[in-house]
Structure 1
Amino acid sequence: MALLQVENLKKVYADGTAALNGIDMKVEAGEFIVVIGPSGAGKSTLLRCLNQMVQPSSGKVLFQGVETIGAGNRRLQRIRREMGMIFQGFNLVERVSVLTNVLHGRLGYMSSWRGALGLYAKSDVREATRLLERVGLGEQVHKRADELSGGQQQRVGIARALAQKPKLILADEPIASLDPASSDIVMNSLYNFCKEDGIACVCNLHQVDVAKKYATRIIGIYKGTKVFDGTPEQLTDDMIDLIYNQNKKAHATHADSIHSKQKETA
């Protein structure tokens, strides 16, 4: 049984925008899948439908054999605590310490009142500290999150996701706002920790070269439709052109058609 199985997943927003048009995909334990596609292709919607941050219009999402769509609050909480999320904008609580932000990854395992009071187990504090050392931020433990650079904040986000002890990590454009040096550090950290801990990852990226460097499998999406699913070696230049330039070609064809008609009537 696949760790995650997605069947005919569709999402149509209230304004009529069809963000996903019947996506099928499987994620096996330990895979590092990168989803690529132009802006507006539906990559972020896909990730948010997997953990129900966005409610799909139809289809199935099975995580460890359990249907996530329509799950009640308690069951959804159990699903989400094993499905870590890393955000493009870091999504940290800036006014609190780096350590506390990582400990937020344990909230899904705590009662609501203990979480509200910040009554974390000593073992959780030790593990959060260890995770920060692991991502190279051992000396930043007690700093406020907003005192860190963007790359450092994203590594806090990785540590927070790891604190959940997840089976799967969803990473939504984790390096989109970072400089090249910080991007390398973040992607190396994310890839290596997933590999070492046996965690599967589905990661959205714009950068095709980065996707080819890290992915065990690449999925290409264009206008909410999956148009490629294969290994980095199978992602040819022609396929990249298909994923990213269909819209440009459609506009060019339309423009050529108009130009031809104008010449005919001249």
Structure 2
Amino acid sequence: MKENISTIPLMDAFHADDECPFCYLEREAEQHAVSFILGSAYMEDDIRAKTDATGFCRHHYKMMYDYGNRLGSAWILSTHLKKINEELHKEISNFTPGKSSFANRFKKTDSSAKANTSLGAWLEKRESSCYVCDHFRSIYDRYLDTFFDLYKKNDEFRELFRKSKGFCLPHFRDLIEAAEIRLGDEQKKDFYPVVFSMMEENMKRLQEEVTWFVDKNDYRNKDKDWGNSQDSIQRCMQKCAGGYPADPVFKMKP
């Protein structure tokens, strides 16, 4: 299989020798989306219509703020808040309190429960809506499909995969769920032992590296080599939850 526009990003991600190739792809996608929206795209009516409707999550608002284009962010927020305020007025106007009961007054508050009011449901939807997240979600499934296409047809990619450091736990979950759909029974017999061994081996490697970071801070080990442990904290965090906690702030180029 020759490399093409759909396979090159995935091949590049595996060549990067990262703790998780899908984290690598996610970072590329979100930085591209932030650069795009705060470049000149925020002046385009069709793009602004999308950002007005979806808004951004907390993480990507922070990325936008750090990026540095204050005027661009203000333009986006100006019309987005106009749309939110219109919707908020409608939701508040239509809000009807539920009937209280004596038993309900003794129930403990559970903020993790699903909303049981129309206003709460609207707010939940607003909180989970994000233009940048949607951008990655729109291509993520395609990356998973491309992964399995390459795995089944490309010897170079299979070798890259076998020599990789595995995946963060959230992306590992997605990979396993996709494998159940994309692989046949015989292919699963080959794939699962490899990826399971890879994950256990690399999770153990990280545990040993971060444990040595702790032990190295003991005065008795002060003259011993750090090995690969000095950046083990951020790599362990990535493996457990995804992302790059030690990344520098992503900023607009001067």
- More helix as a share of residues: 2
- Give me the TM-score of the superposition, normalised by structure 2: 0.29
- More strand as a share of residues: 1
| Bigger Rg, which one | 2
